[in-house]
Amino acid sequence: MKKITKHTKTIKNQTDMKKFNKLILSLFAVLFAFSACDNIPTPDYWAEPRPEPPAVNLLFFEDFGTTAVQTGTNWPTVAEYTGFRTSGAGADAVRYSAEGTVTVRSNAVSNFPNASGGSNAMMAGTGASFLINDIATCGARNLILSFGSNQTSDVLAVAYRVSGSDEWNFINYLKETDIWGLVNNLEIALPEGTNTIHLRFTAGRTDFGTRIDDIKIVTEEELGEPIIDPDEVEPPVKPTAIFLETFGNSGATDNPRPSIHNTMIGIINIR
């Protein structure tokens, strides 16, 4: 009987020791977990709240829609195309025009990240300009321009002017690849009182033309009402000739040749 009791106490002691060991291991696990969390930042409930990022307001966006259709070998020109898809607070009065040949096409679509695809504008390989006229600034003076292109900045120049002025201001940027890519964060600082601007994309000569897509202008400033200023630019004054001497063509075969002191030839125009 004593042996049984002693054996029972031994088993109980072993059981208690196992429980004790488990408890120790559990404590170590908890301590390790707390130490692993030492480097995790905890919220500072007493810190000042972070300001919200400024809202970005859309002034103008054009993705050229999806409806450009080729007829035979011809694509619609800017003047012929009716599928423009224009949006933005300053876009209601926008007009498009071209200097040289600019067509809207749905082949070789834009494929940079988040590109709209669909149709895009192509300036001919001989060189041309695509103009976006009468973009209302809605009172904003600091604008941000972005656009997609398949040419380098050496080929495609971008400029803007204010309505009523004939001075184009070039927007510097760098793009070194001749594949589709997005050019963004181009800043435009406008003079006080500007209500309306015009945007121009000018492409030099290329083998296969220069394409643009997804043209966007945004601002972080609050927007007011759109105002379209008249764009009455004075044509440059032509120089007036007050004297012109061509020396005519009489006496060209005379021998000896006539000299100025004894022959009156030529035409004098006074205008």
Share of the chain above pLDDT 70, in %: 66
How much is the pLDDT for 263?
Answer: 47
The rounded distance, in Å, linking the Cα atoms of 200 and 182 is 17
Q: How confident is the model at residue 38 (pLDDT cuts 50, 70, 90)?
A: low
Q: What is the chain's mean pLDDT, rounded?
A: 83
| Tens of pLDDT, residues 46-76 | 556 666 667 899 999 999 999 999 999 999 9
Spatial distance between the Cα atoms of 185 and 216, rounded to a whole number of angstroms: 10
Is residue 155 within 8 A of residue 210, CB to CB? The reply is: yes
Residue 232: per-residue pLDDT: 81
Which one has a higher pLDDT value, 186 or 31?
A: 186
For residue 212 the two structure tokens come to 């643009």
Peptide bond into 226 cis (omega under 30): no
Structural domains in the chain, sorted by start: 57-219 (2.60.120.200)
pTM here? 0.70
Strand partners, 53: none
Contact in structure between 109 and 120 (CB atoms under 8 Å):
yes
Mean pLDDT of 244-248: 61
Cα dihedral 190→132→181→77 (10° resolution): -170
Residue 227 sits at φ, ψ, to 5 deg, of -130, 130
pLDDT level of residue 107 (50, 70, 90 thresholds): very high
What's the CA gap between 132 and 96, in Å, rounded? 5
